[in-house]
A and B are shown apart, each in its own frame.
Chain A
């Protein structure tokens, strides 16, 4: 509601202000602008009337004089004079102005008269103009007055509205004050209670709780403070609103005063205007109206005064209001102080309950622990634990102590584990060693068993050897016995002793050999297994070996014989093979299985057939000739007459020959024709090429002469004739021209190029260039001469060819004929 009021007020004031400004400005600017227009409109209507009455069309003439013409002085003369002035052309109305020399005075007078009349009319119009301006001013004034009254009404309405609002505000304020008072009382009471409680709680709390709770309380207190700040803000806003209202009241007062001032000014102006006005009746009415207006303004002023008084009363009220606001703010501050305390109280209460619950839990849990500990009397802290003495601190101490013990135990365990791992490693090493040792043991055992076996074998061998020695000794004994029995034989003694010694030596050798064999055996334990069995049968084997060798030798002999036989066979076979191969190479075949075939129409047979026929023919001829001979030799017939000397067969043979020759000739002619055609085509091509490239048509004449006609020659007989030099090697000499005059005209060129420089090509080129210049001099520049020339060339080429072909044919035809003949 307050903001709406504020928005409403300034526009109204503005309207008032703008209205006054318009009121002050309009008489000076807008009204004066409008009045001349009105006059112009009027004059134009008059002029139209004049035009209609006189019957003369003024048309688009905008001369100012036309405007000033009045209906009162619209006589003929004037119009005539006007017309003369309006249209200064000499051919306008010459009949109306009869004698110029006589009427000069009259004309001047007329002019003077018209001038006077013009001045009078001008004065009148000015007067009218002024009157009109005053009238319009008056109307404007009335309008502004009406607007003003309307605005005043609006202002009054606004004021009333404001007054009501203020009343409401004050009522509200009173109510608020009362509420505040009651609230204050309540709060004070409650604060007292709370404080008491708080002191109690605080005491309790400080005894039990930790410092953390205080922080929470402080936060709450801050929240309370924030709220108080919010209240302060609202109070400040209210104060601002009050101030604004006061300001607005002042503004309305100011505007009223301004309005009064303007009214006064207007009065003064009106008085001034009244003094300036001349016309009595109009002015009288105007002054009457003005007086009426002045009276009205006075009533307005009185009203404004009343409003001012009201404003003053409002201001006094406003002061009261401000005082009340101050009180209110004080009370709010107090409330702000109280509210955090209340919140703090509630939080403290809740915290205390929590603490108590916690304590109860602690105690119950401790009791439980104690009960458990009592069950185990060995517990290290059992004697220290009493439910009464147990506090959390003590418990934590106990817990720390126990943790330390646990840590110590852990350390011990760690060291033990390390030891265990060390021992594990050792055990593993030992196991590995054991396994290696076992493997070695097995190896050794194997070796041992092998050794054993060899040992056994050796043992057997030894036993065998011993037996042999025993056997030998017995033999010796027998010898001894023999010796004894033949003791008488003296010479035998020595011999026997010698023999014994030899035998002993043999035995010794044998033993040595045995030992050596044993050594060898021990050195080679693996093959001993295989040889061990053979060794005892050594003697037997020796015997069988001999048999086998003999047998083998026999076999060998047989085989060798076989081999030689086979070798011989092979050689024979190979010889046969080569022979056969040769035969095959020759083309031999088995007529039973294969047959040799040939195509009936083969070249060999054809050749042979030809030969055969010729041979037969010749044979026949020969016989016939022989017959003829015998006939000729026989007398009578040969001399009788010249009977056909040639036999029919010879004639036939000759005819056949003739035919063959004819055939050959035909073939050759055909070839010649083809060659000629080819040459002709080539020659034509050559000529054409020469003509297009070098610009000269080359015609071969008889006697080896050559005629050259330029492409650009002016006349058909403008040509050069060359003749080949003596040895027909292709070099040419300039002999003359088709037209002697023409050649003479080129004498200087011939002298310069042919005689002087010895160059026919250069001479021809210069001639070509000159002719080209001559023939193309008549041509328009840009015309492509080359193409035209070519077209002409082709035409002329065909013409020339048509003319020259018979001669060339003749030329070509003579040579082969000559050669053939």
Chain B
């Protein structure tokens, strides 16, 4: 696995993750998206979408005993499986031949608390010729994450 050594990137990610944590704990987040955009055309080429279903612990209507807590090992195994899939997705994803940047988007509740450093954004749709592949999902005691990658096909049409 590759880990970035760019300080700026790490700072950026750290900022995002700190905010994410607070949103996650409040259960005000539904999606986390990493969009890869073309630098030239500003088009979104790849869109990694992680649907987050926060398990509502307060919901008692479901009845029945909550499922036994997952062992950390099992969770790690699921995450490892997803990462494996993501790295393997290189085989079917189209090559990124142009210079790209990336952006991270968060689908938050309307009533979520938003710090001033965060601003509204467009959802970075893949405008045309999109294809999507559902990836594995993993779940912890707190939330369930479904992974999905959408990408722009080559200019075949």
B39 in complex: contacting residue of A584, A587, A599, A607, CB < 8 Å: A607
Q: What mask results when residues 12 to 42 of chain B are scored 1 for a CB within 8 Å of chain A, else 0?
A: 1001100100000000001101010101001
Chain A nearest CB from B49 CB (Å) reads 6
Partner-binding segment picked from A560-568, A590-598, A665-673, A767-775:
A590-598
Q: Which residue from A582, A597, A600, A611 sits with its C-beta under 8 Å from B105?
A: A597
B120's contact among A586, A597, A608, by CB below 8 Å, is which?
A597
Is the CB of B118 closer than 8 A to any CB of chain A?
Answer: yes
| Nearest-neighbor residue (CB-CB) of B114 within chain A | A597
* A600 and B119 within 8 A (CB): yes
A598 and B106: CB pair below 8 A? yes
Is A601 among interface residues, defined by CB-CB distance under 8 A? yes
Contacts A587-B47, A602-B12 given; does A596 touch B122 at CB 8 Å: yes
A611 to B33 alpha-carbon distance, docked (Å) = 24
Q: If the complex has contacts A586-B132, A589-B31, A593-B109, are A598 and B119 also in contact, measured as CB distance less than 8 A?
A: yes
A585 with B148: in contact, given A596-B106, A597-B106, A598-B103 (CB under 8 Å)?
yes
With A587-B49, A603-B102, A608-B42 already in contact, the answer to whether A598 and B121 are too (CB < 8 A) is yes
Q: Within 8 Å of chain A (Cβ to Cβ): is B108? A: yes
A610 to chain B, nearest CB (A): 10
- Verify B118–A597 contact, CB threshold 8 A: yes
Instruction: State the main secondary structure of chain A at its contact with B.
Output: mixed
Residue numbers in B under 8 Å from A125 (CB-CB): none
| A597 & B123 in contact (Cβ 8 Å cutoff) | no
Residue of chain A at shortest CB distance from B133:
A585
Beta-carbon contacts under 8 Å, B66-113 to A:
101-110, 112
Give the residue of A587, A602, A604 whose beta carbon is less than 8 angstroms from that of B123.
Answer: A587
Write the chain A residue with the least CB distance to B102: A603
Total contacting residues, chain B, CB less than 8 A = 42
Name which residue of chain B comes closest to A593, CB basis: B110
**Does chain A have a CB within 8 A of B130?**
yes
Chain A's nearest CB lies how many Å from the CB of B45?
A: 12
A608 to B148 alpha-carbon distance, docked (Å): 26
User: What chain B residues lie within 8 Å of A587 (beta carbons)?
Assistant: 31, 33, 47, 49, 123-125, 150
Residues of B within 8 A of A584 (CB): 51
A604: which B residues are within 8 A, CB to CB?
35, 37, 42, 101-103
A599 contacts B12, CB within 8 Å? yes
A588 contacts B by Cβ under 8 Å: yes
Chain B residues near A607 (CB, 8 Å)? 39, 101
**B155 contacts the other chain (Cβ, under 8 Å)?**
no
Q: Is A605 an interface residue (CB 8 A)?
A: yes
Most B CB within 10 A of own CB, among A587, A589, A593, A604: A587
Contacts of B16 in A (CB 8 A): 599
* Given contacts A589-B31, A593-B109, A604-B101, A599 and B118 within 8 Å (CB-CB): yes
Measured CA separation A596–B49 after assembly (Å): 13
Minimum Cβ distance to chain B for residue A588 (Å): 7
Q: Which residue of A lies closest to B16 (CB)?
A: A599
Chain B residues near A586 (CB, 8 Å)?
47, 125-126, 130, 132, 150
* Binary per-residue interface labels of chain B (112-147) against chain A in the complex, 1 for a CB within 8 Å, 0 otherwise: 101001111111111000101010000000000000
| Complex Cα–Cα for A608 and B35 (A) | 15
Report B146 CB to chain A, min CB distance, Å: 10
A106 to chain B, nearest CB (A): 144
Could you tell me the distance in whole angstroms from the C-beta of B105 to the nearest C-beta in chain A? 5
A602 and B103: CB pair below 8 A?
A: yes
User: In the assembly, what is the distance between CA of A604 and CA of B37, in Å?
Assistant: 7
CB proximity of B117 to chain A, nearest CB, Å: 6
Q: Separation in Å of the A600 CB from the closest CB of chain B?
A: 5
Q: Which residue of A lies closest to B103 (CB)?
A: A604
A592 to B111, CA, bound (A): 10
The answer to whether A598 touches B130 (Cβ under 8 A) is no
- Interface 0/1 of A298-335, CB less than 8 Å to B: 00000000000000000000000000000000000000
Interface centre among A584, A601, A602 (most CB of B within 10 A): A602
Closest residue of chain A to B30 (Cβ to Cβ) is: A594
Q: A654 to nearest B CB, angstroms?
A: 24
Residues on B with C-beta less than 8 A from A599 are 12, 15-16, 19, 104, 117-119
Cβ 8 A contact of A589, one of B39, B104, B120, B123: B123
A585-B132, A586-B130, A594-B108 as given contacts; A603 in contact with B117, CB under 8 Å: no
A582 touching B106, Cβ below 8 Å: no
Interface string of A603-622 (1 = CB under 8 A from B): 11111100100000000000
Chain B residues with CB under 8 Å of A588's CB are: 123, 125
In contact, A598 and B104 (Cβ under 8 angstroms):
yes
Whether B104 pairs with A602 at a CB distance below 8 angstroms is yes
By beta carbon, the residue of chain A nearest B11 is: A601
With A and B bound together, what is the CA distance between A225 and B95 in angstroms?
A: 141
The residues in A between 44 and 72 inclusive whose CB is less than 8 angstroms from any CB of B are none
Residues of chain B lying within 8 A (CB to CB) of residue A589: 30-31, 107, 123
Q: How many Å lie between the Cα of A586 and that of B33 in the bound state?
A: 11
Bound complex: CA of A608 vs CA of B49, how far in Å? Answer: 23
Cα of A587 to Cα of B42 in the assembled complex, Å: 17
Please, what's the 1-or-0 string for A570-592, where 1 marks a CB less than 8 Å from any CB in chain B?
00000000000010111111001
CB neighbours of A592 from chain B (8 A):
110
A52 to B91 alpha-carbon distance, docked (Å): 148
Name the residue on A nearest B19 (C-beta): A599
Write the nearest CB–CB distance from B126 to chain A, whole angstroms. 6
Give the residue name and chain of the A residue nearest to B36 (CB). Answer: A604
For A610, the closest partner residue in chain B by CB is B39
Residue of A nearest to B122 (CB): A596
Would you give the shortest CB distance from B101 to chain A, in whole angstroms?
Answer: 4
Q: Which residues of B contact A585 (CB under 8 A)?
A: 49, 130, 132, 134, 148, 150
For residue A304, give the distance in angstroms from its CB to the closest CB of chain B. 132
User: In whole Å, how far is B115's beta carbon from the nearest beta carbon of chain A?
Assistant: 10
Chain A residue nearest to B47 in the complex (CB) = A587
**CB–CB A603/B12 < 8 A:** yes
Compute how far the CA of A729 lies from the CA of B118 in the bound complex, rounded to whole angstroms. Answer: 61
Taking CB atoms, residues of chain B closer than 8 Å to A582 are: 132
Interface centre among B15, B103, B114, B148 (most CB of A within 10 A): B103
Within 8 Å CB of A594, what residues of B?
30-31, 107-110
A605 CA to B42 CA in the complex, in Å? 10
Least CB separation from B33: chain A residue: A587
Smallest Cβ-Cβ distance to A608: which chain B residue: B42
**CA separation between A608 and B101, bound complex, in Å?**
9
Pick the most buried of B19, B37, B106, B123: most chain A CB atoms within 10 A of its CB.
B123
CB distance from A327 to the nearest CB of B (A): 125
Give Cα A588 to B132, complex, Å.
Answer: 13
Write out the residue numbers on chain A whose beta carbons fall within 8 Å of the beta carbon of B150.
585-587
B120, A596: Cβ atoms closer than 8 Å: yes
Can you report 21 residue pairs joining A to B where beta carbons are below 8 Å apart? Answer: A586-B126, A587-B47, A588-B125, A589-B107, A592-B110, A593-B110, A595-B110, A596-B122, A596-B123, A597-B105, A597-B119, A597-B120, A599-B119, A600-B117, A600-B118, A600-B119, A603-B102, A604-B35, A606-B101, A607-B101, A608-B42
Known: A594-B109, A596-B121, A604-B102. 17 other contacts (CB 8 A): A586-B125, A586-B132, A586-B150, A593-B110, A595-B109, A595-B112, A596-B122, A597-B107, A598-B103, A598-B106, A598-B120, A599-B19, A600-B117, A600-B119, A603-B103, A604-B35, A611-B39
The 5 closest A-B pairs by CB, nearest first: A598-B121, A585-B132, A604-B103, A604-B101, A607-B101
